[in-house]
């Protein structure tokens, strides 16, 4: 028996003013997208902005439904929109942020497992790391160089029958 330690690498920026210009701009787009959330049930507004290799930015927000599981997170809304509009263009970066209307988010929003899985697949598809920028409404901002750092030991298409 042996024990393996998995490590995650992330950069932490102390605030928005520390961000490189391109990441700051992408985060602004994610913030604007959050304002377009349809979240009458949770009242939690999430926005995601994906920068593609062709320079286009595609955004998404969480979309809820009275049948709760029918709703979709901002990250997947953005990823599916980007892949539908530009199926052959790799994703370069994704910024995600959220608005909690009752209490300001002081730490970065954390994507759910399903969103991590979906983003990982696009990263694999294009054989290009997808950088992830996570922010709250104030405080630190996390920057991951790859979705793989957010989802180690991932299920992938290689497990499926040939």
Q: Which is nearer to ligand THU, 136 or 148 (CB)?
A: 136
Smallest distance, ligand THU to C-beta of residue 160, A: 26
Smallest distance, ligand THU to C-beta of residue 70, A: 11
Smallest distance, ligand THU to C-beta of residue 30, A: 11
Q: Which is nearer to ligand THU, 4 or 70 (CB)?
A: 70
Residue 126 near residue 94 (C-beta atoms within 8 A):
no
9, 12, 16, 20: CA torsion to nearest 10: -50
Contacts with ligand THU, residue ranges (CB under 6 A) = 39, 42, 44, 46, 62, 64, 71, 73-75, 109, 111-112, 115
Q: Which is nearer to ligand THU, 54 or 65 (CB)?
A: 65
Q: Active-site positions?
A: 75
Q: Under DSSP, is residue 160 helix (H, G, I), strand (E, B) or coil?
A: coil
Residues 50-88: b if buried by 16+ CB within 10 A, e if exposed: bbbeeeebbbbbbbbeeeeeebbbbbbbbbeebbeebee
């Amino acid at each position: 028996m042996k024990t393996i330690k998995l490590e995650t690498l992330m950069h932490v920026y102390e605030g928005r003013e520390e961000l490189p210009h391109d990441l700051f701009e992408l985060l602004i787009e994610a913030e604007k997208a959050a304002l377009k959330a349809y979240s009458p049930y949770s009242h939690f507004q999430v926005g995601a902005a994906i920068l593609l290799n062709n320079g286009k930015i595609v955004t998404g927000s969480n979309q809820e439904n009275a049948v709760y599981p029918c709703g979709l997170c901002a990250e997947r809304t953005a990823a599916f929109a980007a892949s539908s509009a530009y199926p052959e263009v790799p994703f370069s970066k994704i910024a995600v942020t959220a608005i909690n209307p009752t209490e300001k988010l002081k730490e970065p929003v954390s994507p759910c497992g399903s969103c991590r899985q979906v983003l990982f697949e696009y990263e694999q598809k294009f054989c290009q790391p997808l950088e992830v920028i996570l922010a709250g409404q104030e405080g630190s901002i996390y920057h991951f160089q790859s979705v793989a750092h957010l989802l180690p030991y991932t299920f992938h298409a290689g497990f499926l029958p040939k």
